[in-house]
Amino acid sequence: MDTTQTTQQIRLVPAEAEALVGLCGQLDENIKLIEKRLDVTIKYRDNLFDISGENSEHVAATKTLLENLYREAQANTEISPETIHLYLQESAIESLTSSKRGKSDQLVIKTRKAFIKPKGANQQDYVKQVRKHDINFGIGPAGTGKTYLAVACAVEALEADRVERIMLVRPAVEAGEKLGFLPGDLSQKIDPYLRPLYDALYEMLGFELVDKLIEKNVIEIAPLAFMRGRTLNNAFIILDESQNTTREQMKMFLTRIGFGSTAVITGDTTQVDLPRGTSSGLAQAMHVLKGVNGISTTIFNSADVVRHPLVQRIVEAYDRFDVEVEAEKKARTEARLAAQADVTEGHS
């Protein structure tokens, strides 16, 4: 059976040998990755590329993707698989088939060491909400950028003098590892768990400046327990791993927010490490605060994952498994109730 092939041609200009090499990668590894992910065939000679495939939208998306990656290669020369994955994510989420989208439409967070571009509609909306609201929830699986973007917004606000300090907060809950066996006081014990936040700060501000700001308490790292009794004005506060707060802790944290402050609460409701029988403060807050003016909530899903492509597929597999488990529980419950009804009817 014949299949209709769609073909588009693109000439990348100006032709820059170094940028073209960076775009294609060693042994055309980048081209092969794009072909595999978008199910197209790419042939090129110098700066002239022919793209063909059975899906016209994929062909159009590949054309736009190559244009965007070439611009990136002109600026940074080397294109990594991670960079391609991020652009591919954007292609899937925002339809790069639209050639009308220009650089002016792209949201950028500017920090001393980096310009951060939120990828996809959800990430862009998340950043817009954080800039607009005093309290913001970012809920979703690992790898969706919710914590990284929160740190970027905090650094941007600090450098623009919109806040006087940044606070990084985390509940001291043991996720299978005992804190008591770690050296130091509680603050030092929790430092390893805040490593992703430190890494983001180092990337955006540099090692020396981050260390100086921590010494001056402009950047403060605090276990959630240390927040009780404090009122935080003119601060950007990030509560990470908030699914591990109790209901009382979440209420305590939210009522610490003072004038001129912004709070971002990130978490994944499927990764609760609280003791059995203890309800998650994040889950309750989602219900209690629904519709409260001045509070934003962004829900991320597997399509927003910006790590290795396998991470997205892993998240989706677990989601399917959870749905299947719930369906089995429901079926067993219905069967048990039906059996009880038959017994009752038999006795009557």
What are the CB-based long-range contacts (under 8 Å, 24+) for 192-200?
193/241, 194/168, 194/170, 194/221, 194/240, 196/147, 196/148, 196/240, 197/147, 197/151, 197/168, 197/221, 197/238, 197/240, 200/147, 200/148, 200/151, 200/152
Mean pLDDT, the chain, whole residue set: 81
In this predicted structure, the answer to whether residue 152 has a pLDDT above a threshold of 90 is yes
Averaged over 40-50, what is the pLDDT? 92
pTM exceeds 0.85: no
Report, as an integer, the average pLDDT of 180-196.
56
Percent of the chain whose pLDDT exceeds 90: 29
Q: What is the DSSP string of 112-167?
A: SS-EE---HHHHHHHHHHHHH-SEEEEE--TTSSHHHHHHHHHHHHHHTTS-SEEE
Q: pLDDT (tens digit, 9 = 90+) per residue, 92-143?
A: 534 443 434 444 346 889 888 878 888 878 889 999 999 989 999 999 888 8
Mind listing the pLDDT tens digit for each residue in 285-335?
999 998 888 899 999 887 777 655 565 667 677 778 878 888 888 888 888
Give pLDDT, residue 106: 62
Q: Tens digits of per-residue pLDDT, 246-275?
A: 999 999 999 888 888 999 999 998 888 888
Residue 180 has pLDDT above 90, yes or no: no
Q: What is the pLDDT of residue 52?
A: 92
Q: How much is the pLDDT for 102?
A: 44
Mean pLDDT of 232-241: 91
* Residue, of 19 and 176, whose pLDDT is higher: 19
Residue 264: both structure tokens together: 């971002």
